[in-house]
Amino acid sequence: MKKLFCKLFYFAGQLSLRFEKSFKIIWVFLFATALFWGLPNEAKGTAGSANEGKLALEQDDPRYGKDSLECARNWSVYDEFVKHRALDYAYEPWSFVFENCPMLSLNIYLHGINIVRYRYDRETDPDKKKELLDLLMKVYDQRIEYFGNEGFVLGRKATALYPLQPGNARELFDLTQRSIALVDEASEAPVLQINFLAAVQLVEAKQLDEDSLVILFERNMEIIEHNLEQGRDEQFYQGASNIILSLFKPYGSCENLVRLFLPRFEASPADLALMTQIIGMLEGGGCTDTELFYLATRQKHGQAPDAETAFSLGRMENSLGNFSEAIRYFQDAATRYAMADGGQQAVFRSYWLMAEISYRQLRQLVQAREYARLAHEAMPTDGRPLLLMGEMYAGSAANCGSDEFTRKAAYWPAVDKFQQAAAVAADAAVKERALQMAETYRQYFPNGEEIFFNGFTRGETFRLGCWINETTVIRSK
């Protein structure tokens, strides 16, 4: 028998040298067969494993089960198949080791995951697939039984189960909850992500309340932030953070969000990443009118000013009635937007609001007109800035003349602006309003007799003073 299996080894070696790739699996099979049958039953020597080196096999070593030689043989056979990625052939000898010598090596479980999953993916019979899934879960449970590290392994068990049963929310939630409770800040990013996803599914199924979801959100995000601060697997933890934030948004009422983030804001007001997170969550939840949103935006703008935070602060100061502060922030936003490519619409938006506030709230006519002019330059086809100028001119008529005739003169440049607005407006509604305004204020023009008795003629240019300072054309109604 000894000569037979030695010749078998020699034959396998020659084939592997001559046909290196084509006969690789054949060589593995012949090697494993020779190894399996070549050891005499009475032998008490050694059996090797490439994973752990050569180990002395003692008949009474509890790691090798009741039959140490059979364990050693099957271990070596499946180990060689795994090395050469012949996982289908590895299944039977691995199964023997898994069932009969579970303490032999941690590699039984590391290899077992791949071996069982390989079979599961290729099985078509539903009943057999279920058996293989149960076996896969048993691999994790048995690893915990013999090698411990329960928190970590439960997390890995959940990540193995999720792609196979993504709708199994209860089991996924229970597994990840236990794992996170045991390892806390060492929880891996996929475990935190699966945990929160399963929690959302349970909330949707009315098996978990929304207050619990808020608590889970806070806990998971704190663990993620800790690992990001430590620089650990940043890509994975940042990805998990983004997914959890998006999952939480539909459940984040303004009251819940403020209750969740206010203590964190108060504890770390200089944390720029936290300010950005708070702003994003409150914006996503429609909570931009909360004091916390204002405070976080102001903190962020103070540390890393940009156009968006400046614009947000301008809008909030405006809603609070702090109009001068609002204009200051809008000016900052307009300047920053102007430096960015493709920011003309945002520039227009800033100057337009400045013009509106200056005219309607502060009655600063000259300044309002300047902001309207800048808005028109940013978006020449909008039309609204020209409409606003016309409205300001018409509204100033009573204060821009010394007599009846000169007070009516302000309506000429007003109608000029309305007509210009109608000519450039791309929006049909703006164009229609401009034409209506022009028609309305033509009725306030002086008549022909008034023009004649004041020493003027129709079609003559006229320079209107006051704050308007426009040259226009004399017309009668």
Residue 305 lies in a domain: no
Mean predicted confidence (pLDDT) in 389-399: 95
- Domain count of the fold of the chain: 4
For 303-355, what is each residue's pLDDT tens digit?
Answer: 999 999 999 999 999 999 999 999 999 999 999 999 887 679 999 999 999 99
Mean predicted confidence (pLDDT) in 415-440: 97
* Three-state secondary structure call for residue 56: strand
Residue 290 lies in a domain: no
The residue ranking higher by pLDDT, 214 or 175, is 175
Q: Is the pLDDT of residue 402 over 60?
A: yes
The residue ranking higher by pLDDT, 233 or 62, is 233
Per cent of the chain over pLDDT 70 is 86
On whether both 141 and 191 belong to a single domain, the answer is no
Q: Which two tokens stand for residue 426?
A: 């791309």
Residue 93 lies in a domain: yes
d(CA 49, CA 138): 24
Residue of 386, 378, 374 whose CA lies nearest to 424: 386
CA terminus-to-terminus distance, the chain: 124
For 162-207, what is each residue's pLDDT tens digit?
Answer: 999 999 999 999 999 999 999 999 999 999 999 999 999 999 999 9
pLDDT of residue 366: 97
Mean predicted confidence (pLDDT) in 20-28: 38
On whether both 447 and 469 belong to a single domain, the answer is yes
Last residue of a domain, one of 114, 148, 182: 148
Using alpha carbons only, give the angle 137, 180, 221 rounded to the nearest 5 degrees.
130
Give the structural domain span for 225.
168-251
On whether both 51 and 132 belong to a single domain, the answer is yes
For 362-388, what is each residue's pLDDT tens digit?
Answer: 999 999 999 999 999 999 999 999 999
Torsion of CA 88, 91, 94, 99, to 10 degrees: 170
Residue 295 lies in a domain: no
Residue of 253, 186, 267 whose CA lies nearest to 217: 253
Residue 266 lies in a domain: no
On whether both 197 and 235 belong to a single domain, the answer is yes
Mean predicted confidence (pLDDT) in 262-287: 89
Contacts made by residues 197-203, CB under 8 angstroms, sequence distance 24+: 197/172, 197/243, 197/247, 198/169, 198/170, 198/172, 198/173, 199/173, 200/247, 200/248, 200/251, 201/167, 201/169, 202/169, 202/170, 202/173, 203/251
Can you give the pTM of this predicted structure? Answer: 0.59
